[in-house]
């Protein structure tokens, strides 16, 4: 443990060094594509002074570099959002700022107060945009926002490190990790027989004298050319999912759900009555797993059917309220409603199929008419608009309003599935 902690500690030191040296404005033009950083880090002499094997050192460098790039992406996204909302800007101003945020060389040049020099084709585009905007003012705006929102990165975590394939080997029901002493490895017995051939993340728990190995799961992204529809959806406790065009998926969801809830309630009652002669929970856990498995199979099967029939490019839905919100008394049935599970599965499947998810605010959404925006009433699953007289299925109306809100830009966030790992060779 001491030897591995030594690695983790140095790993953190390398990351902080990279953050400090390349995280700022001055390095913006050096971090893409990244070999400049690698070369400079080799030349820095840090690796030799720490005595950290290169199988860890360069991973720490790229780890930190990845964080820096993410940090810049977050900063740019924030400024992009602010730009869109700023009423003091003309459309030309906004175009110009968006250009700067998109073209990294231009962005770096503005922040470093250097002249903007771009490849000929883009330079022409730049000059056309710049001619119509108040450049000086916009440059000052950009610098100010970066100073305000761009955070300095630092890690205090000294219990985690990544290991490249060459840093470990499996054997003797365990794993051997390279350490600082040359040609020596430490042996760690493992609790399973899984063997991976990829970069591992290792988290140390020195207090418990154990460690965890974290392995990335790779999925290939399937892009569908014909997935182009924008679909608003409403999730429900009876019918799992209703679209804005009134298509329903998981219509038996309520039945499955009720059966599962009733069974669990009954089991819990029995358990609490028979505490004295405890019947044991093993059988209970087995049965629970089995029932839950069946429910989850149904959910997945219906979500797949939804995607293949609706072919969505964008899915709009209500932002999930924070857990525990909604004022205390939630019934067991609602608690056991697999909403969290459905959401996670939907998000995962959207990543897998390169579908964008757009979240909208949900306040008053089910009382708003999707046709005219007026207020209506709901009775027994039917929505009646008191303004325009529309009579619609309640969930279809909700899904329609969700879609409308998304289209008018009343969105919480929109997320594209770019962070998915592509299948390695
Ligand atoms: Zn209406």
Model confidence over 214-246: pLDDT tens digits? 987 776 778 888 999 999 999 988 899 999 999
Q: Is the pLDDT of residue 419 over 60?
A: no
Distance 74 CA to ligand 1 centre (A): 39
The number of angstroms, rounded, from the C-alpha of 222 to the middle of its chain's C-alpha atoms is: 18
Distance 179 CA to ligand 1 centre (A): 69
- Average pLDDT for residues 154-166, to the nearest whole number? 89
Rounded Cα distance between 195 and 176, Å, is 12
Which residues hold their Cβ within 5 A of ligand 1, which is an ion?
A: 369, 371-372, 374, 385, 387-388, 390
Q: Is the pLDDT of residue 134 over 70?
A: yes
- For residue 75, give the nearest of 21, 157, 129, 152 by alpha carbon: 152
Distance 391 CA to ligand 1 centre (A): 8
Q: What is the pLDDT of residue 337?
A: 63
Distance 388 CA to ligand 1 centre (A): 4
Q: Is the pLDDT of residue 203 over 50?
A: yes
Q: Is the pLDDT of residue 408 over 90?
A: no
Q: Is 75 helix (H, G, I), strand (E, B) or coil?
A: helix
Q: How confident is the model at residue 418 (pLDDT cuts 50, 70, 90)?
A: very low
Q: Is the pTM of this model over 0.75?
A: no
Distance 371 CA to ligand 1 centre (A): 5
Q: What is the pLDDT of residue 332?
A: 52
Distance 373 CA to ligand 1 centre (A): 6
- In DSSP terms, 92 is beta-bridged to none
Q: Is the pLDDT of residue 355 over 70?
A: yes
Model confidence over 27-65: pLDDT tens digits? 888 887 778 888 899 999 999 999 999 999 999 999 999
- From start to end of 290-401, where are the E strands? 312-318, 356-360, 376-379, 382-385, 391-393
Sorted by where each starts, the structural domains of the chain and their CATH numbers stand as 2-149 (no CATH), 160-214 (no CATH), 229-415 (3.30.420)
Distance 358 CA to ligand 1 centre (A): 24
Distance 357 CA to ligand 1 centre (A): 26
* Range with the poorest average pLDDT among 133-147, 161-175, 216-230: 216-230
Q: How confident is the model at residue 277 (pLDDT cuts 50, 70, 90)?
A: low
- Average pLDDT for residues 199-224, to the nearest whole number? 87
Rounded Cα distance between 121 and 234, Å, is 46
Distance 380 CA to ligand 1 centre (A): 18
Distance 387 CA to ligand 1 centre (A): 5
Q: What is the pLDDT of residue 162?
A: 93
Distance 377 CA to ligand 1 centre (A): 10
Residues whose CB is less than 8 angstroms from the CB of residue 250 and which lie 6 or more positions away in sequence, other chains included: 239, 240, 241, 298, 299, 302, 303
Distance 367 CA to ligand 1 centre (A): 10
């Amino acid at each position: 443990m001491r030897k591995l902690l030594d690695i983790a500690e140095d790993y953190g030191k390398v990351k902080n060094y990279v953050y400090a040296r390349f995280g700022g404005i001055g390095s913006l033009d050096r971090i893409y594509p990244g070999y400049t950083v690698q070369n400079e880090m080799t030349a820095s002499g840090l690796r030799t002074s720490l005595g950290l094997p290169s199988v860890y050192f360069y991973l720490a460098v790229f780890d930190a570099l990845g964080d820096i790039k993410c940090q810049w992406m977050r900063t740019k996204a924030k400024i992009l959002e602010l730009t869109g909302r700023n009423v003091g800007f003309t459309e030309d101003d906004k175009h110009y700022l968006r250009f700067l945020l998109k073209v990294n060389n231009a962005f770096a040049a503005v922040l470093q107060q250097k002249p903007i020099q771009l490849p000929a084709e883009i330079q022409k585009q730049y000059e056309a945009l710049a001619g119509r905007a108040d450049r000086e003012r916009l440059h000052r705006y950009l610098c100010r926002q970066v100073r305000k929102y761009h955070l300095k990165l630092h890690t205090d975590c000294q219990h985690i490190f990544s290991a490249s394939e060459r840093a470990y080997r499996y054997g003797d029901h365990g794993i051997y990790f390279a350490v600082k002493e040359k040609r020596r490895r430490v042996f760690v017995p493992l609790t399973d027989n899984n063997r991976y051939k990829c970069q591992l993340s290792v988290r140390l728990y020195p207090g418990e004298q154990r460690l965890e190995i974290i392995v990335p799961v790779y999925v290939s992204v399937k892009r569908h050319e014909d997935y182009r529809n924008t679909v608003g959806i409403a999730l429900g406790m009876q019918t799992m999912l209703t679209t804005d065009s009134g298509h329903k998926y998981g219509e038996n969801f309520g039945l499955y759900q009720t059966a599962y809830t009733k069974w669990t309630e009954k089991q819990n009652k029995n358990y609490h009555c028979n505490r004295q002669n405890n019947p044991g929970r093993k059988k209970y856990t087995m049965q629970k797993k089995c029932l839950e498995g069946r429910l989850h199979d149904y959910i997945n099967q219906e979500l797949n059917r939804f995607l293949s029939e609706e072919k969505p490019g964008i899915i709009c839905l209500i932002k999930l309220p924070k857990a525990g919100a909604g004022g205390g008394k939630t019934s067991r049935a609602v608690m056991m409603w697999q909403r969290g599970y459905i959401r996670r599965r939907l998000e995962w499947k959207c990543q897998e199929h390169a579908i964008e998810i757009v979240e909208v605010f949900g306040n008053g959404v089910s009382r708003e008419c999707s046709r005219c925006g007026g207020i209506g009433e709901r009775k027994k699953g039917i929505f009646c608009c008191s303004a325009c007289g529309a009579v619609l299925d309640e969930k279809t109306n909700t899904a329609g309003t969700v879609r409308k809100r998304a289209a008018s830009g009343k969105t919480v966030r929109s997320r594209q599935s770019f962070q998915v790992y592509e299948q390695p060779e």
